[in-house]
Structure 1
Amino acid sequence: MTREITFLPSGRVCDIETNETVLAACLRAGLTPVYGCSNGNCGSCKARLTSGDIDQVRHHDFVLTSPEKMEGYFLMCANRALTDIDVEADVTQSPDDIPVQDIETKVKSVEYLDPQVVKLHLQTPRSRRLRFISGQSVMLTIGDDIQTSMPIASCPCDDRNLHFHIPDIPGDAFSEKVFSGQLAPRDRVQLHGPKTGNFYLDHKDERHSLILCWHIGFAPIVSLMEHAMSLDIERGLYLHRFSPTPDRQYLSNLCRSWSDAYENIHTELVADRVTLLSTVEECTQVLARVASRYPDLSNFNIYVAGPPNFVEAAESVFSGLGLTAEEIKTHVDWLGVLE
């Protein structure tokens, strides 16, 4: 039987299955609680029950004091809900409330998504998972000085397994390290972040999302889309992908699987060719054609991820249609395949 958890003071609500811990339900819902080891040792997921009944399903070594127990404190990783419950815990979705973190990760795998794009899978320690919001970026460092800023291409609901889309950029030390095969499983990569901007998913916003990305700008979009799906967001998500090679866009089958599985998700691989050398005027022409298919954008947020000219053109097109700066969320990146 499914129960319901209400987190205070945010008022965020999520379902919890019969044998699911409060922490597991929270993560499955795409929330970002404070926690560490997830097995009862560190006590980081301590919360306070204010209403309802819970049951301890896992032994934990972390010791709660008698006064804490009397006040209703418990570990979210070790307890399930017997009824609908109200819990005082920080599961805020605001990026400003998430601290900058320094975590030493290990390479889990390096997988080619395309001859010129690699998916780098990093794994954090069990006790040092990354708290982040979909759409955010981090700084990655190999050794002492090989460094790059990368958007996270995975859902906050799995904050231990982090994915990044690394493009093949001649002359870039980080890219060359990856594509030369010098970065292997179990190698260490230092992570610093996340970086806060306006490019993130607000689960409380009821507006539809028109999403425009160019090539490697798809990386933060994956995070946004997977987060939206984990939260069961019902508003419309309309994704249009541009590429320097429109007939060969990486992970195109992933987009199709989203559209097939969810009625509110619509994806298109745009046939218009856009490159890093495309001017603002050229980008404006192709983006305006997409915008013309949406005669009423009064209930939309616009997400744009790509190189500077692409983003500048999108800002011009959609601000000209009456959208405000708050409604046009941008991720600017030089990353891509230079031709």
Structure 2
Amino acid sequence: MADTHKVRFEPVGIEIEADEDETVLDAAFRQGVMLIHGCKEGQCSACKSFLLDGDLQMGRYSTFALPDFEKDEGYVLLCRSHVYSDTEIELVNYDEDMIRAGLPVVTVRTQVISLRDLTHDISLLRLGLPAESTFRFHPGQYVDITIPGTDEHRSFSMAGLPTADGLLEFIIKRYPGGRFSGLLEDGITAGDALEVTGPYGTFTLRVSSDRRLVFVGGGAGMAPILALLRQMVVSGDEREAVYYYGARTEDDLFHLDELAQIAERLPAFRFVPCLSESRPRGWTGATGLVTDVLARQEENLSDCDLYLCGPPPMIDAALPLLQDRGVPDSQVFFDKFTVTAADD
């Protein structure tokens, strides 16, 4: 049986226990401490921190996420780190409110309630939690869904809110030949069981802020943003907000009726769909890449909170724009949807 050690996080003064056979990040998740993270696989550097004291060893990781010179200086990736003594770690990226509002990560067996197409390549999947489930989540978070019959999983954001009926809602893009995508097209039906682990993620609404909200999304990236908008409706949030959504053609737009209803419930909210490839006759909306539309329509972003969710090219185009506009990193929150190699 693996030994257990104490891990203390500074400057927040939070302490957890970690087994030697689990990563520091997984130990934090297990105890409801939601640290900043991304891929959970040593590829993105979101969980990069600094080792102050203790015996810590890392498993395999990408040197793009942690260059050798940073490792030599004492930086570590918490998703790859195992501790073999009591350890003290300084967090580099952290949100203390989010850390303290964390929920324990659990694994539950859900049941497929319904599955339908939203567009030619995006599906709406609804899963039901068992009645006795202790699973809880914050709007905007995601879970890992295990591919039946394998040890593999895929990560998907939840589009809904925590409800008494225990319903989890997902907006999922289908990729040709994808392991999970293939199940959505031919393999998953109502009544089937799917194992879900979570919640993960810090893409949550900072309710203590009174800044104007700017949401930017594309494709299945609507899922967590829709969750945040639904949260705003329920809470009666009166902040000014705008949602720029990028799609290729008009046929790639969906949930338009609900977004119109949200605009009715939130008078200070606007939805701006942007078409990048097709300009149908009679279309009077925005055209071009969603990040280009954002640049054209938003001159002053430095006093806004920005929430970005979509494919890597969209995020990679948006972040330099926000930096050029003087937006502090502390006001930018993003989920970069990635495609697992097996789903390419």
TM-score range, shorter chain: 0.5 to 0.7
- Alpha-carbon contact 2:245-2:290 (below 8 Å) kept: no
CA contact (8 A) 1:129 1:159 kept: no
TM-score by length of 2: 0.63
Tell me the distance in 1 between the aligned counterparts of 2:99 and 2:128: 21
Cross-structure match for 1:127: 132
Partner of 1:313: 317
1:201 aligned onto 2:205: yes
Question: Structure 1: how far apart are the matches of 2:289 and 2:274?
Answer: 13
Distance 2:245 2:194 in 1: 30
Aligned to 1:322: 326
Tell me the equivalent position of 1:118.
123
Counterpart-to-counterpart distance in 2, 1:129 and 1:223: 20
- How far has the Cα of 1:248 moved from its partner? 3.4
Partner of 2:307: 303
Q: Does the CA-based 8 Å contact 2:276-2:289 persist in structure 1?
A: no
User: Shift of residue 185 of structure 1?
Assistant: 1.4
Equivalent-residue separation in structure 1 for 2:233 and 2:164 (angstroms): 13
- Secondary structure of 1:227's counterpart equals helix
Which residue does 1:148 correspond to in 2? 154
5+ unaligned residues in a row in structure 2: which ranges? 1-31, 33-95, 279-287
- Given the superposition, is the C-alpha separation of residues 285 and 245 from structure 1 closer, same or farther in structure 2, using an over 3 Å criterion? closer
Any idea what the Cα deviations from partners look like across 1:178-219, whole Å, max 9, x if unmatched?
111x2111211101111123x211222211210010111111
The secondary structure found in structure 2 opposite 1:105 is strand
Helix, strand or coil: the match of 2:118? strand
Q: Is the 8 A contact 2:212 2:304 kept in 1?
A: yes
The root-mean-square deviation of aligned C-alpha atoms, in Å, is 2.8
**Cα-to-partner distance string for 1:154-201 (whole Å, 9 max, x where unaligned):** 113457110011222112111101111x2111211101111123x211
Equivalent-residue separation in structure 2 for 1:271 and 1:213 (angstroms): 12
What does 1:176-187 align with in structure 2 at a 5 Å threshold? 176-180=182-186, 182-187=187-192
TM-score by length of 1: 0.64
The 1:312–1:100 alpha-carbon spacing in structure 2 relative to 1, beyond 3 Å, is same
Moved more, 248-257 or 207-216: 248-257
Q: Find the counterpart in structure 1 of residue 193 from structure 2.
A: 188
Q: Which residue does the alignment assign to 1:261?
A: 265
* Contact 2:147 2:179 (8 Å CA) reproduced: no
| Aligned partners of 1:242 and 1:273 also within 8 Å | no
**Matched-pair contact (CA < 8 Å) for 1:246–1:271:** yes
| Correspondence for 1:165 | 171
The residue identity in structure 2 corresponding to 1:228 is M
Q: Could you tell me the percent identity over the aligned residues?
A: 22
Q: Which residue of 1 aligns with 2:228?
A: 224
Aligned-pair distance for 1:286? 5.0
CA contact (8 A) 1:95 1:132 kept: no
| Conservation of the 8 A alpha-carbon contact between 1:213 and 1:241 | yes
Stretches of structure 1 that go unaligned for 5 or more consecutive residues are 1-33, 35-91, 275-283
Q: String of CA shifts for 1:276-323, please: whole Å, max 9, x gaps.
A: xxxxxxxx9752442342333233111111111110111110111111
Distance 1:200 1:321 in 2: 23
Q: Is the 8 A contact 1:213 1:304 kept in 2?
A: yes
